[in-house]
Amino acid sequence: MPSIKAAILGFGTVGEGVYRILQEKREEIKKSTGFTVEVVSILVKDKTKKRMSIQDVQITDDFRDILNNPEIDVVFEAIVGDEPAYTYLSEAIEKSCHIITANKKMFAKHGPALMKHAEFRSVQVGFEATTAGGVPIIRTVTNLLAGDRVKRIQGILNGTSNFILTKMREEGSSFSQALADAQQKGFAEADPSDDVTGMDAFRKLMILSSLAFGQQPDWEGVPVVGIDHLQTIDLIDASKENLRYRHVADIWLDERGKLQGTVGPVLIGENHPLFSIDGVDNAIIVDTEYLGSLTLVGPGAGMYPTGSAMIADLMHIIRRHEAVLIPN
Ligand SMILES: NC(=O)C1=CN([C@@H]2O[C@H](COP(=O)(O)OP(=O)(O)OC[C@H]3O[C@@H](n4cnc5c(N)ncnc54)[C@H](OP(=O)(O)O)[C@@H]3O)[C@@H](O)[C@H]2O)C=CC1
Ligand SMILES: N[C@@H](CC=O)C(=O)O
């Protein structure tokens, strides 16, 4: 049976999710693709940290161990921040590895360059997990663009913010209690200020903008507001009026064909499609020229939803590249 050798960069919430799914779905993947997928190396920052038990996999804190292994076909990236992630992925592409990333901070800034580089080296880039966790928004927009034109995308793109707003409204939790809960569940970023200031949703919006419109607006021109100024009482008072705060990221082409974007909390009524989206769920409304309006809803963060988006990218790469993946 031919095998695909994979490396995972980062073994926190997301990296571990990828590993677990690959182990749990080993036989199904083999059956559906004809390939076994073997994780051969995992990159971490601190090798002494206590982790789940892993057999027959090199655990390293030196990326060169991965880069210099000629057997590796695919690199999953789930580390934190734009560097060294961007450098590592550029080097992996140079070695003709396919790359699959969950790192939106890196991808919002360097995604277009990585895509160009990958095209030049004839490898694939999977980035479904960068936006809306397990919700297949990247694949959906890619498919829509084949015969349609996107006019506007708006949605809840940060699971942590939505989880916090829901807990404050439903349970009367304080902002800090709700944030601590989101961190404990693995939803929040290593630096949770990215979640609650709106920066994480902004970066996801920029990734969607590159995909849907082939460009990003000037970052400075997009107002970004978070949820960190909202009080539990604000949410409860709104609720009494049958209104809810949602943290909404929005991008559209104006009448002059210029991209406009906003990110921030919005008070919405019960007829709005985002009214009922609670907890860690994300929801994205895509308006197109021919299809009209489409809404996708699902878990926007967490180990298994995010891991599953990365495995979906892997399946796509295998199916597209069966002919060129050289069996080891
Ligand atoms: N959590 C989520 O639900 C989602 C997260 N993401 C993105 O996925 C990525 C990972 O997130 P998450 O798993 O939550 O983060 P964690 O903080 O749980 O894990 C990060 C992992 O990366 C390793 N790491 C960090 N920096 C480096 C480095 N410079 N070199 C080598 N290893 C490094 C850490 O090593 P060590 O274990 O030794 O500390 C750790 O294993 C982030 O970019 C995040 O934005 C995307 C979608 C959802
Ligand atoms: N911290 C992020 C994780 C997924 O992208 C979020 O809460 O949405």
In terms of Cα–Cα distance, which of 214, 217, 291, 215 is closest to 249? 217
Q: How many Å lie between the centroid of ligand 1 and the Cα of residue 129?
A: 13
In the block, tokens 């901070």 appear at 105
Q: How confident is the model at residue 320 (pLDDT cuts 50, 70, 90)?
A: confident
Q: What confidence tens digit (pLDDT) does each residue in 111-143 have?
A: 999 999 999 999 999 999 999 999 999 999 999
d(CA 292, CA 286): 8
195 Cβ below 6 A of ligand 2: yes
Residue range 204-210: mean pLDDT, rounded: 98
Residue range 18-43: mean pLDDT, rounded: 96
Q: What confidence tens digit (pLDDT) does each residue in 216-229 have?
A: 999 999 999 999 99
Q: Token digits for 308?
A: 């599953």
pLDDT confidence of residue 313: 98
- Homologous superfamily (CATH) for 137-300: Dihydrodipicolinate Reductase; domain 2 (3.30.360.10)
Element (H, E) at 41: strand 36-43
Q: What confidence tens digit (pLDDT) does each residue in 159-171 have?
A: 999 999 999 999 9
SS (H, E, C) 145-164: HCCCCEEEEEEECCHHHHHH
258 within 8 A of 237, measured Cβ to Cβ: no
* Closest ligand relative to 185 C-alpha: 1
- Looking only at the bridges linking them, the beta strands covering 58-60 and 36-43 are parallel
Rounded to 5 degrees, φ, ψ at 99 are -125, 145
Residue 327 has pLDDT above 60, yes or no: no
What strands, in cross-sheet order, belong to the sheet with 243-253? 259-269, 243-253, 150-156, 281-288, 292-299
Helix axes 104-120, 199-213, angle to 10 degrees: 30
Q: How many Å lie between the centroid of ligand 1 and the Cα of residue 11?
A: 7
What's the ipTM? Answer: 0.99
Q: How confident is the model at residue 90 (pLDDT cuts 50, 70, 90)?
A: very high
> Which residue in the list 5, 109, 167, 204 is annotated as catalytic?
204
Residues of the chain with CATH 3.30.360.10: 137-300
- DSSP string across 251-313: EEE-TTS-EEEEEEEEEEETTSTTTT--TTEEEEEEEETTTEEEEEEEE-SSHHHHHHHHHHH
Instruction: Flag whether 77 is marked binding.
Output: no
Residue 13 has pLDDT above 60, yes or no: yes
Q: Token digits for 287?
A: 């308006």
SS3 245: strand
Third-level CATH fold of 3-133+305-320: Rossmann fold (3.40.50)
DSSP state of 243: E
Q: How many Å lie between the centroid of ligand 2 and the Cα of residue 182?
A: 10
Residues of the chain with CATH 3.40.50.720: 3-133+305-320
204 labelled catalytic: yes
CB count within 10 Å of CB 49 equals: 10
d(CA 75, CA 124): 11
Q: State if pTM tops 0.95.
A: yes
